[in-house]
Protein backbone atom coordinates (compact mmCIF):
# COMPACT_ATOMS: atom_id res chain seq x y z
CA UNK A 1 0.00 0.00 0.00
CA UNK A 2 1.09 3.55 -0.73
CA UNK A 3 -0.56 6.93 -0.62
CA UNK A 4 -1.25 9.22 -3.56
CA UNK A 5 1.62 11.40 -2.27
CA UNK A 6 4.05 8.56 -3.17
CA UNK A 7 2.99 8.27 -6.84
CA UNK A 8 5.73 8.17 -9.48
CA UNK A 9 5.66 7.82 -13.27
CA UNK A 10 5.83 4.15 -14.26
CA UNK A 11 4.39 2.91 -10.94
CA UNK A 12 1.72 0.20 -11.35
CA UNK A 13 -1.43 0.41 -9.23
CA UNK A 14 -4.02 -2.26 -8.52
CA UNK A 15 -7.39 -0.48 -8.77
CA UNK A 16 -10.56 -2.56 -8.52
CA UNK A 17 -8.70 -5.73 -9.52
CA UNK A 18 -7.12 -4.20 -12.64
CA UNK A 19 -3.53 -3.08 -13.16
CA UNK A 20 -2.96 0.55 -14.14
CA UNK A 21 0.38 2.21 -14.91
CA UNK A 22 0.86 5.86 -13.89
CA UNK A 23 1.80 7.88 -17.01
CA UNK A 24 1.54 11.36 -15.46
CA UNK A 25 0.56 12.79 -12.12
CA UNK A 26 0.13 16.29 -10.72
CA UNK A 27 -0.43 17.40 -7.13
CA UNK A 28 -2.97 20.23 -7.09
CA UNK A 29 -3.57 22.51 -4.11
CA UNK A 30 -6.41 24.86 -4.98
CA UNK A 31 -6.87 28.07 -3.02
CA UNK A 32 -10.11 26.72 -1.64
CA UNK A 33 -10.85 23.13 -0.69
CA UNK A 34 -8.65 20.08 -0.10
CA UNK A 35 -5.59 19.16 -2.17
CA UNK A 36 -5.90 16.40 -4.75
CA UNK A 37 -3.79 14.41 -7.20
CA UNK A 38 -4.71 14.42 -10.89
CA UNK A 39 -3.35 11.38 -12.78
CA UNK A 40 -3.30 9.95 -16.26
CA UNK A 41 -3.21 6.15 -15.99
CA UNK A 42 -3.05 3.37 -18.57
CA UNK A 43 -4.65 -0.05 -18.23
CA UNK A 44 -1.72 -2.45 -18.51
CA UNK A 45 -3.68 -5.18 -20.30
CA UNK A 46 -6.04 -3.24 -22.59
CA UNK A 47 -3.88 -0.14 -23.17
CA UNK A 48 -6.85 2.16 -22.41
CA UNK A 49 -5.77 5.54 -20.98
CA UNK A 50 -8.00 7.42 -18.53
CA UNK A 51 -7.76 10.47 -16.27
CA UNK A 52 -8.40 9.78 -12.60
CA UNK A 53 -8.41 12.16 -9.65
CA UNK A 54 -7.57 11.09 -6.09
CA UNK A 55 -7.86 13.03 -2.83
CA UNK A 56 -4.38 13.84 -1.49
CA UNK A 57 -3.15 11.21 0.96
CA UNK A 58 -5.61 8.52 -0.19
CA UNK A 59 -4.24 4.99 0.15
CA UNK A 60 -3.80 3.11 -3.14
CA UNK A 61 -2.74 -0.50 -3.64
CA UNK A 62 0.46 -0.90 -5.61
CA UNK A 63 1.20 -3.96 -7.72
CA UNK A 64 4.58 -5.64 -7.69
CA UNK A 65 6.01 -5.44 -11.18
CA UNK A 66 9.18 -7.33 -11.97
CA UNK A 67 11.11 -5.78 -14.89
CA UNK A 68 13.48 -8.29 -16.49
CA UNK A 69 16.25 -7.63 -19.01
CA UNK A 70 15.33 -9.65 -22.10
CA UNK A 71 16.76 -10.08 -25.57
CA UNK A 72 14.44 -10.20 -28.60
CA UNK A 73 15.22 -13.33 -30.63
CA UNK A 74 12.70 -13.69 -33.47
CA UNK A 75 9.08 -13.33 -34.67
CA UNK A 76 7.21 -16.65 -34.91
CA UNK A 77 3.72 -16.40 -36.43
CA UNK A 78 1.69 -14.29 -33.98
CA UNK A 79 4.28 -14.52 -31.20
CA UNK A 80 7.52 -12.73 -30.44
CA UNK A 81 10.19 -14.83 -28.73
CA UNK A 82 12.37 -13.25 -26.03
CA UNK A 83 15.20 -14.70 -23.93
CA UNK A 84 15.79 -13.78 -20.29
CA UNK A 85 19.38 -12.50 -20.11
CA UNK A 86 19.90 -13.81 -16.56
CA UNK A 87 18.79 -17.45 -16.85
CA UNK A 88 18.44 -17.86 -20.66
CA UNK A 89 14.78 -18.95 -20.41
CA UNK A 90 12.78 -18.25 -23.57
CA UNK A 91 9.36 -16.59 -23.38
CA UNK A 92 6.84 -16.17 -26.21
CA UNK A 93 4.80 -12.96 -26.05
CA UNK A 94 1.66 -12.30 -28.09
CA UNK A 95 1.23 -9.35 -30.46
CA UNK A 96 -1.15 -7.74 -27.91
CA UNK A 97 1.54 -7.68 -25.19
CA UNK A 98 4.32 -6.48 -27.52
CA UNK A 99 2.05 -3.79 -29.00
CA UNK A 100 3.68 -0.78 -30.71
CA UNK A 101 7.16 -1.98 -29.68
CA UNK A 102 6.98 -4.45 -32.61
CA UNK A 103 7.56 -1.53 -35.00
CA UNK A 104 11.05 -0.98 -33.57
CA UNK A 105 12.26 -4.50 -32.68
CA UNK A 106 15.47 -5.84 -34.19
CA UNK A 107 16.76 -9.35 -33.57
CA UNK A 108 19.20 -9.60 -30.63
CA UNK A 109 18.03 -6.22 -29.26
CA UNK A 110 18.03 -5.88 -25.44
CA UNK A 111 15.04 -4.34 -23.64
CA UNK A 112 12.89 -4.83 -20.57
CA UNK A 113 9.72 -6.90 -20.19
CA UNK A 114 7.47 -6.23 -17.19
CA UNK A 115 5.95 -9.21 -15.35
CA UNK A 116 3.33 -9.36 -12.60
CA UNK A 117 3.20 -12.64 -10.66
CA UNK A 118 4.87 -14.44 -13.59
CA UNK A 119 2.48 -13.04 -16.22
CA UNK A 120 4.06 -10.80 -18.89
CA UNK A 121 2.39 -7.38 -19.00
CA UNK A 122 4.17 -5.19 -21.55
CA UNK A 123 7.46 -4.56 -23.36
CA UNK A 124 9.38 -1.47 -22.22
CA UNK A 125 11.40 0.01 -25.07
CA UNK A 126 14.15 2.60 -24.66
CA UNK A 127 12.94 6.16 -25.45
CA UNK A 128 14.66 6.05 -28.86
CA UNK A 129 16.30 3.51 -31.15
CA UNK A 130 18.70 3.74 -34.10
CA UNK A 131 17.39 2.06 -37.27
CA UNK A 132 18.47 2.04 -40.89
CA UNK A 133 16.25 3.29 -43.73
CA UNK A 134 15.67 0.28 -46.00
CA UNK A 135 13.76 2.20 -48.68
CA UNK A 136 12.86 5.78 -49.51
CA UNK A 137 12.41 7.68 -52.74
CA UNK A 138 15.53 9.59 -53.79
CA UNK A 139 15.52 13.29 -52.97
CA UNK A 140 15.65 15.78 -55.81
CA UNK A 141 18.48 18.30 -56.22
CA UNK A 142 17.56 21.36 -54.20
CA UNK A 143 15.68 19.35 -51.53
CA UNK A 144 18.13 20.41 -48.84
CA UNK A 145 15.81 22.89 -47.18
CA UNK A 146 14.13 22.16 -43.90
CA UNK A 147 10.40 21.66 -43.77
CA UNK A 148 9.57 19.03 -46.39
CA UNK A 149 9.20 15.36 -45.48
CA UNK A 150 8.74 12.08 -47.34
CA UNK A 151 7.85 8.52 -46.27
CA UNK A 152 10.70 6.12 -45.48
CA UNK A 153 10.53 2.42 -44.62
CA UNK A 154 12.80 1.33 -41.77
CA UNK A 155 14.62 -2.01 -41.58
CA UNK A 156 11.84 -3.30 -39.27
CA UNK A 157 9.21 -2.56 -41.97
CA UNK A 158 7.73 0.41 -40.10
CA UNK A 159 7.13 3.59 -42.12
CA UNK A 160 7.97 7.07 -40.77
CA UNK A 161 8.26 10.59 -42.18
CA UNK A 162 11.83 11.84 -42.73
CA UNK A 163 13.37 15.02 -44.24
CA UNK A 164 13.65 15.08 -48.05
CA UNK A 165 17.48 14.86 -48.12
CA UNK A 166 17.75 11.42 -46.42
CA UNK A 167 18.54 8.42 -48.61
CA UNK A 168 18.23 4.63 -48.40
CA UNK A 169 20.90 3.17 -46.10
CA UNK A 170 21.00 6.18 -43.75
CA UNK A 171 20.81 5.40 -40.02
CA UNK A 172 18.25 7.49 -38.14
CA UNK A 173 17.19 7.93 -34.51
CA UNK A 174 13.47 7.27 -33.95
CA UNK A 175 11.28 8.06 -30.92
CA UNK A 176 9.68 4.74 -29.82
CA UNK A 177 6.72 6.46 -28.12
CA UNK A 178 5.26 8.09 -31.24
CA UNK A 179 7.42 7.00 -34.21
CA UNK A 180 8.83 10.48 -34.87
CA UNK A 181 12.13 11.04 -36.67
CA UNK A 182 14.65 12.52 -34.19
CA UNK A 183 17.76 12.91 -36.32
CA UNK A 184 20.40 11.36 -38.50
CA UNK A 185 23.08 9.17 -36.89
CA UNK A 186 26.67 9.52 -38.08
CA UNK A 187 28.50 6.21 -38.46
Q: Are residues 48 and 18 in the same domain?
A: yes
* Selected residue with higher pLDDT from 142 and 117: 117
Is the pLDDT assigned to residue 135 strictly greater than 70?
Answer: yes
- The per-residue pLDDT for 141 is 56
- Domain hosting 44: range is 2-60
Q: How many CB atoms lie within 10 A of CB 71?
A: 16
The pTM for the full model equals 0.69
Residue 73: is its pLDDT beyond 70?
yes
Q: Based on the domain organization, do 32 and 54 belong to the same domain?
A: yes
Handedness of CA 137, 140, 144, 147 (dihedral sign): negative
Q: Answer yes or no: do 28 and 78 share one domain.
A: no
Mean pLDDT of 160-179: 86
Averaged pLDDT, 88-92: 88
Q: Is 48 helix (H, G, I), strand (E, B) or coil?
A: coil
C-alpha distances in Å from residue 130, one per residue of 32, 124, 127, 158: 49, 16, 11, 13
**Are residues 112 and 157 both part of a single domain?**
no
End-to-end CA, the chain: 48
Q: What pLDDT band is residue 53 in, cutting at 50, 70 and 90?
A: very high
pLDDT of residue 142: 57
Question: How many domains would you assign to the chain?
Answer: 3
Domain shared by 117 and 142, yes or no: no
Task: For residues 108 and 148, state if they share a domain.
Answer: no
Same domain, 15 and 54: yes
CATH number at residue 102: 2.40.50.140
51 confidence band (pLDDT: 50, 70, 90)? very high
Q: Do 89 and 136 lie in a common domain?
A: no
CATH number at residue 6: 2.30.30.30
Spatial separation of the C-alpha atoms in residues 75 and 77, rounded to whole Å: 6
Amino acid sequence: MATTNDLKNGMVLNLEGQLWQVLEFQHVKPGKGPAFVRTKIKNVLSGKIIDKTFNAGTKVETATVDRRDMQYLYHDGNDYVFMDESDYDQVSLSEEIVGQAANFLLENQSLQVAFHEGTPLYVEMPASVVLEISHTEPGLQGDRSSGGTKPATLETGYEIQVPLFLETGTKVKVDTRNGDYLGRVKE
